Structure 1
Amino acid sequence: MRPHRLRFHLVDKDGSWSARQRQRRAEWLIRTFPRLSEMHVIDLGGRLGTWTRATVRPARVHVVNLERPTAEVPDWAEVDQADACDLPARIAKRRYDLVFSNSVLEHVGGHERRLRFAEAVHTLGERHWVQTPYRYFPIEPHWIAPGMQFLPVRLRTAVARRWPLGHKATRTHDAAIHQVLWTELLDRSQMRHYFPQSRILVERVGGLPKSLIAVRTTIPRQRA
């Protein structure tokens, strides 16, 4: 089987191993927020397709991504091109029932920008669900490469150029190092630092932690 077909069957295909993992995570989200269908949700760094395929869709979804929005947006959704770490005032001043983010925090670009991302999460709503892959899972999830995240940048760049199961084709050194430097997996201490008042849930595969999810489900009581 050709490498790109193997990746498709492992990760991208409906019914693939990763697709089943995503479905289980979606079901976990629904159990955690049983009123999701009534909520106004902002998705930081996500894509509209996540919600068009969802078995339970929020009443309103606002997707914010660096990519240009698609031409067709359904009436229950809103799509903006913006940086979640530096939101324009027209978005930052709004409030939502739930702030959602899936596999984005590891790509925002370093500690300072992760702090700004977390600040946006806390500002936009009282409830949140922020997922990111766990650094110490033995398989690097973007390239499906064992232990790649523990290598020096030079070797990670070489793997990114040549490893056949990567999420994007990288034919040049510049393209490969760009992807490597913009992918920084997190551990539990970091997640607790960015989300100190949240529960840190652990998604496991084969008993091993695969991803971390910072969750807040209730609105804190106001002091008298």
Structure 2
Amino acid sequence: MPRLRNLLVDTDQSWGGRRRASRARWLADTFPNLADMSVIDLGGRVDTWQHAPVRPAHVHVVNLEAPPADLPDWAEVDHGDACQLPDRIAARRYDLVFSNSVLEHVGGHERRERFAEAVHQLADRHWVQTPYRHFPIEPHWIAPGMQYLPVSARALLARRWPLAHTRPTTRDEAVREVLWTELVDYTQMRLLFPRSRILTERLAGLPKSLIGVAGATQGRA
């Protein structure tokens, strides 16, 4: 089953990897001056940009992981909470705020509101992507309809589902994992990003993820 998951989502050559590469090209098409921009990536990683088809002039990654030991000269990394940024970061301005598959993990509606406030404060342009709640496959566990189950059932599935990335060893750990993964829909995205264009990434005609975009000069719907 780990091999099947790799084929589906986890490697650059997988179906999911090809979708991520397509989304990176979409970002570059939407912001043609991306190579000249300073970008703050909320919740991401430097290696995302090392493999991107277009790399910004400067990337500032902020997440809860320990910073890597070696960084390229075009990148900086800070340990920080995107919903409660340190003043030294919150006071800065960037050309673009970027976030990929983070909004669903920040911890409830109130924290998502704070995340959105940070996005609006840091730049006039943004690209905030998150999986769509009503796509039939829950993307983190690759489990059909898992997002609609009661918490107890999701926790049980998280411990037993063969396509999970890593399986929690205890019930409490499983409950925490599923509670920290809360997919959102169009109504929630529109509330969080009322002046943004909400783009839809589709698979087989079905909405797969939502992308809140502001300040774009071009790009497809």
Give the aligned partner of residue 70 of structure 1.
68
CA offset at residue 25 of structure 1?
Answer: 0.5
Q: Structure 1 regions of 5+ residues with no counterpart?
A: 220-224
Q: Distance in 1 between matches of 2:97 and 2:72?
A: 20
- Aligned mates of 1:8, 1:69 — CA distance in 2: 26
Mapping 1:137-216, distance limit 5 Å: 137-216=135-214
Q: For CA contacts below 8 A with separation 6 or more, give which structure has more relative contact order.
A: 2
Deviates further, 86-95 or 209-218? 209-218
Residue segments in structure 2 that go unaligned for 5+ positions in a row = none
Q: How far apart in 1 are the matches of 2:166 and 2:94?
A: 33
- The Cα shift of 1:168 comes to 2.3
Partners of 2:216 and 2:164 lie apart in 1 by 38
Match of 2:87 among 89, 92, 100: 89
* Offset, 1:12: 1.2
Residue 143 of structure 1 contacts residue 165 of structure 1 at CA under 8 Å; is this kept in 2?
Answer: yes
Per-residue deviation at 1:148?
0.1
Match for residue 105 of structure 1?
103
> Which amino acid letter does the alignment assign opposite residue 108 of structure 1?
V
Say how many residue pairs are matched: 217
Query: Given that residues 160 and 167 in structure 2 are in contact (C-alpha distance below 8 angstroms), is that contact kept between their aligned partners in structure 1?
Result: no
SS at match of 2:61: strand
TM-align CA RMSD: 1.0
CA contact (8 A) 1:126 1:218 kept: no
Give the TM-score normalised by the residue count of structure 2: 0.97
Deviations 1:120-166 (A, max 9, x none): 00000000000000000000000000000000000000000100111
Moved over 3 A (4+): none
Report SS of the residue matched to 1:201: strand
TM-score, scaled relative to structure 1: 0.95
Alpha-carbon offset, residue 218 of structure 1: 5.3
Counterpart for residue 135 of structure 1: 133
Percent identity, aligned pairs only, is 69
